[in-house]
Structure 1
Amino acid sequence: MALSMFPPRLHRSIHYLIALVWLVNGLLCKVLLLVPRHATIVARILGPTHAEVLTRLIGLGEIGIAVWVLSGWRPRWCVAVQICLVLSMNTLEALLAPDLLLWGRANAVFAALFCLLLYLHGGRRARSSVS
């Protein structure tokens, strides 16, 4: 059993919470377009021509990340990919569409906290499975 800074029950809850974040953002906000601001951000960054389709494709990718998190496959890679995605998406949004972000440039604080949670959670996750 690997050491963890989180008790097993909390660790398991955090695991499901991380997957839920990706699922909600992917399915509700992007695939179903229930939060139009996401498509507007994509249009600003990638252009308006195919923004709706690209937003949905990004959403499908986020749903894929949720499935990957739940699968437990290659957990270190999963954490690394998530951190890279969160940091790159938030950097692009902060530079190119800060006025469209829910909390403006302060979104970076929440992104950094989420990345820290991913990192801390991923340390134990990489050695043992969530049951």
Structure 2
Amino acid sequence: MYFISIVWLTNGLFCKVLNLIPRHEQIVGRILGNDFSRPLTILIGSSEIIMAFWILIRFKSRINAIIQIVIIGIMNIIEFMIAPDLLLWGRLNIIYALIFMGLIYYNEFILNKKLHLQS
């Protein structure tokens, strides 16, 4: 749970809002257009920060996990098709996305189920 939250916080705050990794804004510009890429990148980053805190407070955690998996899947398919040259590992990025999606699924639907059964 903490690792997943840190990934969202790091990507949202450092990579997008603070623009420490400019290719995130370039990806947004390529997909949504350059005219508003900076404000849209900040909006996306802010949403990722909110996601990090939502994970930590555990409110409606199953819905949260499903939303995370869907967002990561859609985002990575779009990036795979439109901006593979801007991704850290190119088209192989989708492999890391699938691993992260699997981690989210395992954490919420396997690990948490076992923890609830032990309580």
Which category of TM-score, normalised to the shorter sequence, fits these structures?
over 0.9
Give the helix-richer structure, 1 or 2. Answer: 2
The answer as to 2:98 corresponding to 1:112 is yes
| Structure with more contact order per residue of length (Cα contacts < 8 Å, sep ≥ 6) | 1
TM-score relative to the length of structure 2:
0.93
Report the Cα offset of residue 25 of structure 1: 0.1
Q: Secondary structure at the match of 2:35?
A: coil
Name structure 2 gaps, 5 residues minimum: none
Structure 1 residue aligned with 2:47, among 57, 61, 66?
Answer: 61
**Post-superposition CA distance 1:100-127 (Å, at most 9, x none):** 0000000000000000000010113367
**Post-superposition CA distance 1:67-96 (Å, at most 9, x none):** 110010001101000000100110110000
The answer as to 2:28 corresponding to 1:26 is no
**Post-superposition CA distance 1:42-64 (Å, at most 9, x none):** 00000000000000000000001
Using the alignment, how far apart are the partners of 2:107 and 2:81 within structure 1?
A: 28
Using the alignment, how far apart are the partners of 1:56 and 1:30 within structure 2?
A: 6
TM-score relative to the length of structure 1:
0.84
The answer as to 2:112 corresponding to 1:125 is yes
**Post-superposition CA distance 1:19-46 (Å, at most 9, x none):** 0000000000000011000000000000
CA RMSD of aligned residues (A): 1.1
Aligned residues: 114
Name structure 1 gaps, 5 residues minimum: 1-14
Q: Secondary structure at the match of 1:42?
A: helix
After superposition, where does 1:1-131 map in structure 2 within 5 Å?
A: 15-123=1-109, 124-125=111-112, 128=116
Q: Identity rate of aligned residues, in percent?
A: 46
